[in-house]
């Protein structure tokens, strides 16, 4: 015992850490969590017989279909417009999170925060412009994607449900764009939203109620800014993610990308 204690005290800190690390790595918990096969459980089989089984049992492999039609991977067929729209959505999410660190949705701060973003925040102007241009481009690419789908007749059975999901995605894209437009709280934003909500006010039966709910009052003000901010950064992106998941799932379930013309 005395001998052991003496030996222990003679070990340097580095040696003790190495010993601790070795005993931890040999433990059952470590082995079950960091076992190489815990992520890719079945390995990746090269035999065509087992390939579907392997793919279906791994969530990571499952993101890709077991088989892809030859024309579906041709850029000239889809023009990758759906993929581009999705890429822009991800870009907008990342740049949007960056902007959230510097922007306060109150009438006293909003405009000033955008000015400081341009002048005092590292990469602030660049990220803001990436967000703004990305938003314009996303509206354009979603619209062109819809036109491509229409041109290929991919709205027909069995893809009619996915077309409807697409229409909802287009609406959400436009809503995200419109709610974001108010946030700089400048003259352009103020009057664009005044005109937009006035137009909504002319909808039959529930027009004035819808206008009241959207503005958070009878005219545009601080309540509108907060309301549209929450819709822009939380509700609409959240709903969009849900519909995107359904959209991609349907592309797979409807037999992948539609056939060539
Ligand atoms: C946020 C917007 C959207 C995103 C991110 C998106 C994404 C995608 C992606 C990645 C595909 C796979 C094929 C491709 O890249 O073309 C696809 C297919 C499809 N999308 Fe969209 N989409 C969006 C909006 C729309 C809209 C507005 C419509 C129509 C109103 C639509 C209808 C369809 C249909 C029917 C397919 C299947 C096409 C085929 O099989 O050829 N999508 N979408």
- What are the C-alpha distances in Å from 129 to residues 118, 124, 189, 200? 10, 9, 16, 29
Q: Which stretch of 6-10, 17-21, 147-151 has the lowest confidence by average pLDDT?
A: 6-10
Q: Is the CB of 172 under 6 A from ligand 1?
A: no
More confident residue, 194 or 59: 194
According to the model, what pLDDT value does residue 83 have? 96
Joined together, the tokens standing for residue 184 give 């700089």
> How far apart are the C-alpha atoms of 165 and 61, rounded to whole Å?
25
User: Mean pLDDT in the chain?
Assistant: 89
Q: Is the CB of 163 under 6 A from ligand 1?
A: yes
Average pLDDT over residues 248-258: 92
SS (H, E, C) the chain: CHHHHHHHHHCCHHHHHHHHHHHHHCCHHHHHHHCHHHCCCCCCCCCHHHHHHHHHCCHHHHCCCCCCCHHHHCHHHHCCHHHHHHHHHHHHHHHHHHHHCCCCCCCCCHHHHHHHHHHCCCCHHHHHHHHHHHHHHHHHHHHHHHHHHHHCCCCCCCCHHHHHHHHHHHHHHHHHHHHHHHCCCCHHHHHHHHHHHHHHHCCCCCHHHHHHHHHCCCCCCHHHHHHHHHHHHHHHHHHHHHHHHHHHHHHHHCCCCCCCC
Domains, the chain, in order of start with CATH, read: 72-253 (1.20.810.10)
Q: Is the CB of 154 under 6 A from ligand 1?
A: yes
Average pLDDT over residues 225-237: 98
According to the model, what pLDDT value does residue 104 have? 98
More confident residue, 62 or 233: 233
Residue 85 Cα: closest atom of ligand 1 = 5
pLDDT at 26 over 70: no
- The pLDDT tens digits of the residues spanning 98-115 come to 999 999 999 999 999 999
> How far apart are the C-alpha atoms of 70 and 51, rounded to whole Å?
18
According to the model, what pLDDT value does residue 260 have? 76
- The pLDDT tens digits of the residues spanning 164-186 come to 999 999 999 999 999 999 999 99
Average pLDDT over residues 42-70: 75
At 57, give phi and psi (nearest 5°). -100, 10
Grade residue 24 by pLDDT with cuts at 50, 70 and 90: low
Q: Can you give the pTM of this predicted structure?
A: 0.84
Q: Is the CB of 85 under 6 A from ligand 1?
A: yes
Grade residue 21 by pLDDT with cuts at 50, 70 and 90: confident
Grade residue 221 by pLDDT with cuts at 50, 70 and 90: very high
According to the model, what pLDDT value does residue 18 have? 79
Residue nearest atom 7 of ligand 1, based on CA coordinates: 82
Q: Is the CB of 82 under 6 A from ligand 1?
A: yes
pLDDT at 5 over 60: no
> How far apart are the C-alpha atoms of 169 and 154, rounded to whole Å?
16
């Amino acid at each position: 015992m005395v001998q052991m204690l003496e030996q222990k005290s003679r070990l340097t800190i580095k040696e003790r850490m190495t010993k601790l690390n070795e005993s931890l790595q040999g433990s059952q918990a470590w082995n079950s969590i960091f076992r190489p096969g815990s992520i890719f459980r079945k390995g990746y089989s090269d035999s065509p017989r087992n390939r579907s089984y392997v793919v279906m049992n791994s969530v990571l492999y499952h993101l890709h279909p077991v088989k892809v039609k030859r024309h579906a991977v041709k850029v000239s067929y889809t023009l990758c417009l759906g993929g581009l729209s999705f890429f822009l959505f991800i870009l907008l999410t990342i740049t949007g999170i960056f902007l959230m660190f510097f922007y306060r949705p109150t009438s006293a701060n909003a405009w000033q925060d955008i000015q400081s973003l341009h002048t005092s925040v590292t990469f602030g102007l660049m990220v803001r412009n990436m967000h703004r241009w990305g938003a314009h481009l996303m509206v354009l690419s979603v619209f062109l994607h819809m036109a491509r789908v229409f041109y290929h007749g991919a709205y027909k059975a069995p893809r009619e449900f996915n077309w409807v999901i697409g229409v909802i995605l287009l609406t959400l894209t436009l809503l995200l764009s419109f709610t974001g437009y108010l946030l700089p709280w400048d003259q352009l934003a103020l009057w664009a939203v005044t005109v937009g909500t006035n137009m909504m006010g002319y909808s039959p039966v529930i027009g004035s109620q819808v206008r009241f709910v959207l503005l958070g009052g009878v005219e545009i003000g601080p309540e509108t800014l907060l309301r549209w901010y929450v819709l822009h950064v939380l509700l609409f992106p959240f709903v969009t993610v849900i519909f995107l998941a359904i959209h991609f799932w349907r592309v797979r379930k409807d037999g992948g990308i539609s056939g060539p013309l």
